[in-house]
Structures are given as structure tokens and as C-alpha cells.
Amino acid sequence: MRYAKCIIIPDDEGLHPVDRRIEAHPDISRDLLHNVNLLADETIVTLYQFTGDRDALKSILEDSSRVRKYQLSGVDDVIHAYIHVEADDRLVGLLSMLTKFEFIFDTPLEFTRRGGLCVTMIGDVKSFQKAVPDVPDGIRLKLLKTGSYEPDTDRLYSQLTDRQQEILRTAVDMGYYDVPRAVTHDDIGEELGCTGGTVGGHLRKIESKLLSQVVP
């Protein structure tokens, strides 16, 4: 079993008008795309993870005629969003290509800082080359690497934002989780150039996010 890791790079129109509006909002960050499915009627259902202003996100979803329905959950500024949208030709074309060549995504999919979507596609290695001509106009695939596929042992860690990963790595490296504890929030904050309160807030969110998925 093989995989190809690549970045999906859309043009200025984005992958879908609703996604483009969310991306452009200054108070909403697209963190992860946990799932995306093309239905038989060529509508699309997605499961996003956002960080930011919940009311701003609701306003975008309610104002769009392309959104059939949505549901939001999560705590604080972390938002999980189930969104069912009307089809967009380029996204339908991309998902149809994946079905045609029998690819599956290794989820979650990660958004890049430049607006792309980093994906790992699992399938037959020969199909990767055959699929390139079927990529819809306005979308470019940048291949990062290929290899033999093994399940991602860093799945939980990958669900954290870049800033959360940085804070958690620093806390572990400095001994915050040692017994006895070697450093305080203030020590970590001094290392990262922020306050101890900021560090404590991030660590509580990180622990809530990870432990809620570990404990049955």
C-alpha cells in the first residue's frame, strides 16, 4: 500500500465559495478538515475544525445560499462544524477524481499558512501519475513525497494548531510534565515570549482536546 503526500493549491477563487469566505475572515482560522464526502446528488458534506469567532462563522453560514444545513459544537474558541453545501464544480471534480482512481484520504487534512490543503492520499502508486490530467482547472497539486503507507501515530498531535504544538513541545522539553514538575507557566512563557497566563490557557485547551479523545 502506497501513499502520496501533496498540497492542494487552489487559485484565488478557492475550493468552494463558502470555504473561501471563511478563509478570508480575519477572526476565523481553518485548522483541520476531518472529513469531506461527495454525496450521490453531488452535494458535499464536510467536518471542519476552526478556531475563532463562533458568531462570525454562523453569520457566514447563515448568509450563504450554498449552505443546506450546518451544526456547530466545541468549547471556547475551538469549533467543530458539520457543513452540508451545494456542489461547486471544481470541488466535485476533485472528489470525483479521487473516487475514479480509488484513492482515500488519511484524515485529518491540514490547512497550510498560504491557504492550501495538505493531504495524504492512499492508493495504487501508478494511479497517482494517471490522475494528474484529471485535476480540475484552477487547482494545482504539489507533490511532497511518496512512500509505503503506515498508520499515522501522530494523529492526535496533528489536530493541534501550530501554536499549540509549539507550546506543548516547549512544555515537554522544559520538564513541565516531569514528576516533580521542573518549570512553571511563567518559565515557559519567558522561553516563548508570552505571559504565563497565556501558556496556562493554551495548555488547558490542549489537555482538554487530547484527553477528551483518549478517555472513553
Secondary structure element (H or E) that encloses residue 50, with its range: strand 44-52
Q: Is residue 124 scored above 90 in pLDDT?
A: no
- The predicted model scores a pTM of 0.66
- As for how many domains the chain has, the answer is 2
Whether residues 137 and 180 share a domain: the answer is: no
210 is a domain residue = yes
**Cβ atoms 143, 116 nearer than 8 A:** no
Same domain, residue pair 139 and 203: no
Lowest mean pLDDT among 5-9, 19-23, 177-181, 187-191: 5-9
Residues 103 and 165 in one domain: no
Same domain, 173 and 66: no
Average pLDDT over residues 43-65: 95
- With respect to residue 155, please indicate whether it lies within any of the assigned structural domains: no
